[in-house]
Structure formats: structure tokens, C-alpha cells
């Protein structure tokens, strides 16, 4: 038996909206420590992982580890039936073929329950080691969103370089070129509005903007985002979900022939 | 520009 109650149900809706376009059919691994997912997009160049900790839920029960095969598009449709202040409860039996979602209004005077059919999904799981990064940048998630959106109107790919000058995003296309450089800041009113750059070695990598733009769909989940760049390795873009967990995106770099 | 799949960077757990 699995049962999880989330007072801030809108977080679940935002999480599914942040990942549903990259991965459609995914396995959620449920254990007594929480809910985990790892899934690659169809082309296998991008990976999405999330963790929702059991202690981030108002109530969490998982008697034995379960894998729930979920069509995220269908789950998103169901979550559209929930109100933005609803409390969401998820339930599944150990051998069941449905995930029950219950939406309770704030005043608990309206209750919706929906059964989502589960599926059997074969998925490839990758072992991602803890890496030493060449450069780690933390910035407001709205800033990241704006950079990748603005550069998408210039080109399809972006060069991201970290040097002691800062972190530079450059795009080139038919209409011209654009560079956006972020420098470290410390003057913002709130700590999360600052840009922090920790560089161990200069690094330059090229990525498809289409994916980086897609990662920005997680902006409503967190006020900050961390971008980890490592020489010759995928970029990691992390959004921490306060008191609940994280969603992380990985994207393979483009390589010169 | 070509792009390797993630399996080229990360192995099986």
C-alpha cells in the first residue's frame, strides 16, 4: 500500500508540467524514503530525474517498494482537475493497476477522486556518479529562463563558457549573434536573487537551446537554479523544490566533428 | 553538430 498526502498539491502539478514534454511514459519508484523518477527523452540525449522526500509530505506511507508506470500526459490531464490550493493525496495498492488521486479543496468542502490507469514500462536506468564540476553557477530561475528564451530567437545552439569574467551564453544564427554574460553579484536584497559562480577551471560547452528552454518549465518550482558545467560531460540543471526534493535535468553536449 | 546519447557518458548503475 502506498499513500502520500501533499498539502501544497500545486507542487505536484508544477512538477508534472515541468517534465511531461521531455518524457511521456515513466516509472515512479516508490519506497519508504519517497518518490524517485529517472527518465530519458526519446532521443536519449537528455535525462530528467526527480526526488520527492517522504518527509516533505504531510503523510507518507509505503509498505513495500513499488514501481508505478505512468503516462505523464494523462497524469497532467488529471491534475488539471485539481484547484491551485487543493490538497492532493495519491494512493496505490501493492498489486494494483491504478493510481488514485484525490483532490481536496482548502476548506475540504469539495473532493474529487480520479483513478489513473498504470502501465508496464521498460526503462533504462543510468548510474550518474557524483562529479567534480568545472563550474557551478547559481542564479534566479527567472534569469535562466530569460537567457535561454532570448537566445532561442537568435539560434538553435548555445555556447556556455565559464571564465573568471563570469558565465557567458553565446548564440549564433542567420540573423546575427548574441552574447549574455552574467557576473557574480552580492548586492541583491534577497540571497536567492544573487548570481553565484564557483569556478575550478575554465570550461566551454555547446548545447541545443531547445532542451535548455524545456528545462525552464521548472521555473515555477524554485526561485533559483543551479547550472553545473563539466568539461566534456553533460550539463546538469538543478531546481530544488523547497522542503520537498528536487528536479534535475542532464543534457549531453554537442561535439565538434 | 553531432550529439552523443547519455549512455555514452554514464553507465548502468
pLDDT digits (tens, 9 = 90+) for A166-198: 999 999 999 999 999 999 998 888 888 899 999
Picking from B4, B6, B12 by the largest number of A CB atoms within 10 A of its own CB, the best residue to mutate is B6
Using an 8 Å CB-CB cutoff, list chain B residues near A124: 7
User: Tell me, what's the ipTM?
Assistant: 0.90
3-state secondary structure of A123: coil
Low-confidence ranges of chain A (pLDDT < 70): 257
Using an 8 Å CB-CB cutoff, list chain B residues near A127: 10-13
- Predicted confidence at residue A124, as pLDDT, reads 84
Q: Which residues contact A31 (CB under 8 A, 6 or more apart)?
A: A62, A65, A66
Using an 8 Å CB-CB cutoff, list chain A residues near B5: 40, 43-45, 252
- Predicted confidence at residue A191, as pLDDT, reads 85
- Predicted confidence at residue A84, as pLDDT, reads 94
**CB atoms A233 and B12 under 8 Å:** no
CA-nearest residue to A206 within chain B is B1
Contact A82, A13 (CB under 8 A): yes
Amino acid at each position: 500500500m502506498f499513500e502520500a498526502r501533499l498539502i501544497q498539491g500545486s507542487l505536484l502539478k508544477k512538477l508534472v508540467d515541468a517534465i511531461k514534454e521531455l518524457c511521456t511514459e515513466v516509472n515512479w519508484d516508490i519506497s519508504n524514503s519517497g518518490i524517485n523518477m529517472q527518465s530519458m527523452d526519446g532521443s536519449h540525449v537528455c535525462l530528467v530525474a526527480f526526488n520527492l522526500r517522504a518527509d516533505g509530505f504531510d503523510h507518507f506511507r509505503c509498505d513495500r517498494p513499488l514501481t508505478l508506470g505512468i503516462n505523464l500526459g494523462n497524469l497532467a490531464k488529471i491534475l488539471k482537475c485539481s484547484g491551485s490550493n487543493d490538497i492532493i493525496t495519491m494512493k496505490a495498492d501493492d498489486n494494483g493497476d491504478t493510481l488514485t488521486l484525490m483532490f481536496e479543496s482548502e476548506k475540504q468542502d469539495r473532493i474529487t477522486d480520479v483513478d489513473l490507469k498504470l502501465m508496464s514500462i521498460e526503462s533504462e536506468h543510468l548510474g550518474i556518479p557524483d562529479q567534480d564540476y568545472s563550474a557551478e553557477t547559481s542564479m534566479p530561475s527567472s534569469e535562466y529562463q530569460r537567457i535561454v528564451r532570448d537566445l532561442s530567437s537568435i539560434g538553435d545552439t548555445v555556447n556556455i563558457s565559464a571564465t573568471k569574467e563570469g558565465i557567458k551564453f553565446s548564440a549564433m544564427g542567420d540573423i546575427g549573434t548574441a552574447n549574455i554574460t552574467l557576473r557574480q553579484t552580492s548586492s541583491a536584497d534577497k540571497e536567492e536573487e544573487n548570481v553565484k559562480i564557483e569556478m575550478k577551471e575554465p570550461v566551454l560547452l555547446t548545447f541545443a537551446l531547445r532542451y535548455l528552454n524545456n528545462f525552464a518549465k521548472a521555473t515555477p518550482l524554485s526561485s533559483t537554479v543551479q547550472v553545473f558545467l563539466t568539461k566534456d560531460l553533460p550539463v546538469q540543471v538543478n531546481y530544488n523544490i523547497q522542503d520537498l526534493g528536487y528536479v534535475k535535468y542532464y543534457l549531453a553536449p554537442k561535439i565538434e566533428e | 553538430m553531432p550529439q552523443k546519447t547519455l549512455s555514452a557518458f554514464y553507465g548502468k548503475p
